[in-house]
Structure 1
Amino acid sequence: MTETVLAVLNQPSRDAAAHDPSADAFTFEAPLDHQLEVQDLGVVRGDGVFETITVVDGRPQALEAHLARFVRSAGMLDLPLPDLDAWRRAIEAVCAELDPVREAFAKTVLTRGVEGSGRPTGWVYAAASGDSTPARTEGISVVTLDRGYRHDVERTSPWLLQGAKTLSYAVNMAALREATRRGADDALFVTTDGYVLEGTRANLVMSVAGRLVTPRTDIGILAGTTQADVFRFAEQQGIETSYELVTMDDLRAADALWLVSSVRQAAPIRSVDGHEHAMDLAMTEQVNDFLLSRES
């Protein structure tokens, strides 16, 4: 059985030299064998970018949107830009190699490689997803945590790389552990000047008086591929959508809340900071049916 698949790219970017000029574009490798140099900057400094792509019945979803964000994140880190043809082929190959399952994921990773080598490291890893049914049907609890910067950080301090999907997730994981310590499933980051941002690994979507609203993407958060498809679903249903500055009062007053992301899809929020919040489970089911049936 092929429960996990790993493809290692020989030349992740045409702007950098190949690891082996005579080798194929990528090779399948054993996921548990030695693959990385211990001095790879993705390991020792978190100097790299990644994407996690939902795979349904062997089909990678929102692939082009993920690849576009992959390129955008790499550009923000001044990494050699990904060779999209090579990455697309590797993604499709690992999805085809994986044992048939209803839901899986493919993770693309690009690092700067070993310092001074001039050769980035790249790989695609695929595996079956965990069961997200409880989160989708029973909801999740969240706590709000101060992110430590103002909502205009992306404009004032672009070197902080807000809005890039980097490997530097230590803060996100620390926030998730803090949420667990407080008895919650996840955390929502809030700016020091009172605006709601995003979850540790997901975007916020709110139902407000018949509209779907998400925080603006120019305030230091990652533009979400799943959130964009939720808005595409809404627009097909004639539901107005909007990107706005969201305050804590707006959050509390919303008719329903979701954290949306690849793999978990749309998870309704049942409580915020220990206070129960109404859920729209009918809408949740419609949104998830749409997300899991996407063709691209």
Structure 2
Amino acid sequence: MSPTPFSPSPGEPVLVLLEAGADGARLPRVADPAVPHLRVSDQGVTRGDGLFETALAVADEAGVLRMRKLGAHLGRLASSAAALQLPAPSAAAWEAAVERGLQAFTAANDVAAGDRLSVRLTVTRGPEAAPGALPQPSAWALLSPAPAVEDEERRTGLRVLLLDRGLDSRAPERSPWLLTGAKTLSYAVNMAALRYARAHGADDVVFTSADGYLLEGPTSTVLIVRTGVDGTRRLLTPLRQKGILAGTSQAVIFAAAGAAGWELGYGPLVPADLEGADGVWLVSSVRGVLPVRAVDGVEIPVDHALTLELQAHLDADGDPGAHVAGDPAPTAG
């Protein structure tokens, strides 16, 4: 017997389950987000064994919602799934789930240009399986209204603390099971770091390795801009090989900045590299480009014009290229 069709209410999140069909294919179904859908034995809950992606959908001038960086997010999801040896749904299945969710939200709401949705794709290893049995992953997409970031917030900037992640920069190579480059559900440490920062008068965090390299924010990627003596701007981000998640927003901004003539650089970076920079930013899919105004209580410059330029690169939603889990190979020249 087929489940009763569910219609979302105006202003409420839209949940799309990816359920296994008779042929094993994953089929999208809109479901009620206010009722339980996971078993208590699901390993995403009991062990944090799973992965996720959080993306942004924005309505265009005609009020049509479209998910940004879809290919980049699905590429990173596939990379994370490979690292976890987790049989995640195919890219086509995720695309169908997102499209069904956008249609359901549009049908329930008066969508206007600029409206934003947070799109979270999640897959877990599913309930505990008997020895030798194939896992039965749980997978879903959740689309929730997301407020716009006000220009004043971009102008004011963030106060960040540098916090030691407790792993040296060789740990990812030495211990790949730590999954430092995968976007797993195990975010308790990241959330604890944010709570620590806010309890100590800061807004956000930049992690450092135990041997002193800059890494990333709990939910963001670090960007640094420097202008050379010849006037050439250089856009920098920490080296991914040091154990950070490859940022989809960073990839889009780098592609656009490179096309505009900026020099691009991938670490390795240390805290001293923050000194004398034109600016430092934390970037993520939903919040976009936010400048850093202080590091460990020390004020640093905030360049509002550069912030808007980087945000414009992100908003243009250009092609970042294929997902690269490590650092891109340097180009000859």
Which residue identity lines up with residue 125 of structure 2 in the other structure? R
Deviation of residue 120 (structure 1)?
0.4
Counterparts of residues 224-239 of structure 1 (less than 5 Å): 224-239=247-262
Deviation of residue 137 (structure 1)?
2.6
1:119 is aligned to 2:136: yes
Alignment partner, residue 266 of structure 2: 243
TM-score, normalization by structure 1: 0.93
Deviation of residue 79 (structure 1)?
0.4
Contact 1:212 1:231 in 2 (8 A): yes
Distance in 2 between residues matched to 1:205 and 1:75, nearest whole Å: 27
Contact 1:61 1:295 in 2 (8 A): no
Which residue identity lines up with residue 28 of structure 2 in the other structure? F
Alignment partner, residue 15 of structure 1: none
Alignment partner, residue 214 of structure 2: 196
Deviation of residue 83 (structure 1)?
1.4
Alignment partner, residue 104 of structure 1: 117
Alignment partner, residue 75 of structure 1: 82
Alignment partner, residue 290 of structure 1: 313
SS in 2 for 1:149: coil
Residue among 86, 94, 100 paired with 1:87: 94
Counterparts of residues 1-296 of structure 1 (less than 5 Å): 1-11=10-20, 18=21, 25-57=27-59, 58-98=65-105, 99=109, 100=111, 102-116=115-129, 118-133=135-150, 134-209=152-227, 210-294=233-317
Aligned-residue identity in percent: 41
Distance in 2 between residues matched to 1:50 and 1:24, nearest whole Å: 17
Deviation of residue 248 (structure 1)?
1.0
TM-score, normalization by structure 2: 0.83
Which residue identity lines up with residue 236 of structure 2 in the other structure? V
Alignment partner, residue 328 of structure 2: none
Deviation of residue 253 (structure 1)?
2.9
Deviation of residue 246 (structure 1)?
0.5
Deviation of residue 22 (structure 1)?
9.2
Which residue identity lines up with residue 28 of structure 1 in the other structure? V
Query: Could you report, residue by residue, the CA deviation over 1:138-192 in whole angstroms, capped at 9, with x for unpaired residues?
Result: 2111000000011121101101011000000000000000110111110000011
Which residue identity lines up with residue 146 of structure 2 in the other structure? S
Structure 1, unaligned runs of 5 or more? 12-17
Which residue identity lines up with residue 244 of structure 1 in the other structure? G
Contact 2:279 2:300 in 1 (8 A): yes
Query: Could you report, residue by residue, the CA deviation over 1:49-73 in whole angstroms, capped at 9, with x for unpaired residues?
Result: 0000111111100100100000100
Distance in 2 between residues matched to 1:46 and 1:272, nearest whole Å: 31
Distance in 2 between residues matched to 1:38 and 1:46, nearest whole Å: 13
Structure 2, unaligned runs of 5 or more? 1-9, 60-64, 228-232, 320-333
Distance in 2 between residues matched to 1:46 and 1:103, nearest whole Å: 28
Deviation of residue 33 (structure 1)?
1.0
Distance in 2 between residues matched to 1:277 and 1:109, nearest whole Å: 37
Deviation of residue 2 (structure 1)?
4.5
Query: Could you report, residue by residue, the CA deviation over 1:178-214 in whole angstroms, capped at 9, with x for unpaired residues?
Result: 1101111100000111100000100000002220000
Distance in 2 between residues matched to 1:151 and 1:76, nearest whole Å: 19
Which residue identity lines up with residue 119 of structure 1 in the other structure? Q
Distance in 1 between residues matched to 2:155 and 2:118, nearest whole Å: 20
Alignment partner, residue 3 of structure 2: none
Which residue identity lines up with residue 280 of structure 1 in the other structure? D
Distance in 1 between residues matched to 2:87 and 2:120, nearest whole Å: 19
SS in 2 for 1:171: helix
SS in 2 for 1:211: strand
Deviation of residue 118 (structure 1)?
2.2
Contact 2:258 2:264 in 1 (8 A): yes
Which residue identity lines up with residue 7 of structure 1 in the other structure? V
SS in 1 for 2:240: coil
Deviation of residue 23 (structure 1)?
9.3
Query: Could you report, residue by residue, the CA deviation over 1:270-291 in whole angstroms, capped at 9, with x for unpaired residues?
Result: 1111111101110111222332
Runs of 4+ in 1 over 3 A off after TM superposition: 20-24
Aligned residues: 289
Deviation of residue 219 (structure 1)?
0.9
Q: Structure 1 stretch 99-108 or stretch 163-172: which is displaced more?
A: 99-108
Which residue identity lines up with residue 147 of structure 2 in the other structure? G
